[in-house]
Amino acid sequence: MNKAFRKVVAVGTALLAAPAARAQSNVTLYGVTDAGVVYKTGAGPQGGRSTSVVSGVESTNRWGIRGIEDLGSGIKATFTLENGFRINNGTGINGGQSTSTTVLFDRGATVGLSSERFGGLELGRNRSPFYESLVALDATGFVNFGSLNTVSYQNGSGYSGAQYYWVDNSVKYTSPKMAGFFGSVLYGFGGTPGNFLSKSVISARINYQVGIATLDGAYFHGRDLSGLTDNSVAQAYTAGAKVTLDSWQFAGNFTNFRNPSSNASQNFYTAEFAYKFAPDLTLSGAYIRLADQRNEDRNGSLYRIVVDYSLSKATGLYAAVGYVKNNSRGTLGILNSVPAGGPGQNQFAAAAGVRHVF
């Protein structure tokens, strides 16, 4: 009897432990530290030159925590918390979507569920599908020195930069991949009592991968984040393709930004390439053409070249040069979030720095 009883207890214990064994989880700390010295002309309203240590010449400095728990049956619980900071002075970068107050997890704070069969659902401060489309279409790594990252910051709509990238109070669904396609859709609730539309945001994306090519497109629509009106002040769409051929990558993109309240409209045309000379050495280049649909005097063209050299899997050096030619009222600048110092100022910039990924 004792032997039989011990056998029953052992079987029961194994059955009780089975769900716990399946529910495996892990939490990852990750981040990027990046700083460089930048020299540029056209730094002030009357021109002028500047030389300074700049935080995140290539990659925005950030740290984050990502967690995944396997719930069984192909379902996982997920969370992501990410903070951006300036390494040259230690301060935070972005505020909330509708406030200048610095927030801890300005680069996203989400919790959700994901499944290879059913897709993923995330709630919180989500990355917009529009942002994810731009990243997917960038052959040069979506760097801060002249890339597709520039167009969201230096447009004339009612939103700028991070307001296109991260959406407060939002729900995002990402579909599973089927026959090369997947998509995502996001809705940001404004949270204004009695007014469902106030401060709301909508964004959607579709991606298709076939062989060596990636096709991607996205849409974004945002209302006045101040809440003073229900006006649509930001409307954007993007479409492009990226092709990978051995050591080469080529990409082309078109993006339009509009402010329906003011009728401002700007087109950005972008062409990029990246060539890997060796596993530790990459050359990349980009051309961006800004075409203002209401005033040609605001037009501008950006050219840039970057060389990246890897010292290890985590640490690398980079050197970059760029030039912007602006029309008489143009303010296009080399660095993504920093326009030229004044209208009509052309700009040359050179940078060298180091980046570490962990």
In a domain, 149, yes or no: yes
Residue 202 · residue 159 · CB < 8 Å: no
256-315 pLDDT, tens digit each: 999 999 999 999 999 999 999 999 999 999 999 999 999 999 999 999 999 999 999 999
318-336 pLDDT, tens digit each: 999 999 999 999 999 999 9
Q: How far is CA 276 from the centre of its chain?
A: 23
Q: Name 217's bridge partners.
A: 206, 239
In a domain, 341, yes or no: yes
Q: How far is CA 231 from the centre of its chain?
A: 25
Give the span between the Cα atoms of 139 and 276, in whole angstroms: 12
Structure tokens, 151: 């167009």
Which pTM does this prediction carry?
0.91
Q: What CATH code is carried by the domain that includes residue 221?
A: 2.40.160.10
Give the span between the Cα atoms of 53 and 87, in whole angstroms: 10
In a domain, 10, yes or no: no
pLDDT in single tens digits along all 358 residues of the chain: 445 444 434 434 443 344 444 457 899 999 999 999 999 999 998 889 999 999 999 999 999 999 999 999 999 999 999 999 999 999 888 777 776 567 889 999 999 999 999 999 999 999 999 999 999 999 999 999 999 999 999 999 999 889 999 999 999 999 999 999 999 999 999 988 889 999 999 999 999 999 999 999 999 999 999 999 999 999 999 999 999 999 999 999 999 999 999 999 999 999 999 999 999 999 999 999 999 999 999 999 999 999 999 999 999 999 999 999 999 999 999 999 999 999 999 999 999 999 999 9
Phi, then psi, of 19 in degrees rounded to 5: -60, -40
Q: Name 186's bridge partners.
A: 172, 203
Task: Give the range of the structural domain holding residue 77, as residue numbers without chain letter.
Answer: 24-357
Give the span between the Cα atoms of 119 and 141, in whole angstroms: 26
- CA angle, residues 129, 132, 133, in degrees to nearest 5: 85
The dihedral sign for the CA sequence 267, 131, 244, 242: negative
The dihedral sign for the CA sequence 275, 278, 282, 283: negative
Residue 260 · residue 232 · CB < 8 Å: yes
In a domain, 56, yes or no: yes
Task: Name the domain count of the chain.
Answer: 1
Give the span between the Cα atoms of 243 and 272, in whole angstroms: 11
In a domain, 17, yes or no: no
In a domain, 128, yes or no: yes
DSSP-assigned states of every residue in 62-100 = EEEEEEEEEEETTEEEEEEEEEEB-TTT--B--B-TT--
In a domain, 1, yes or no: no
**Under DSSP, is residue 235 helix (H, G, I), strand (E, B) or coil?**
strand
In a domain, 88, yes or no: yes
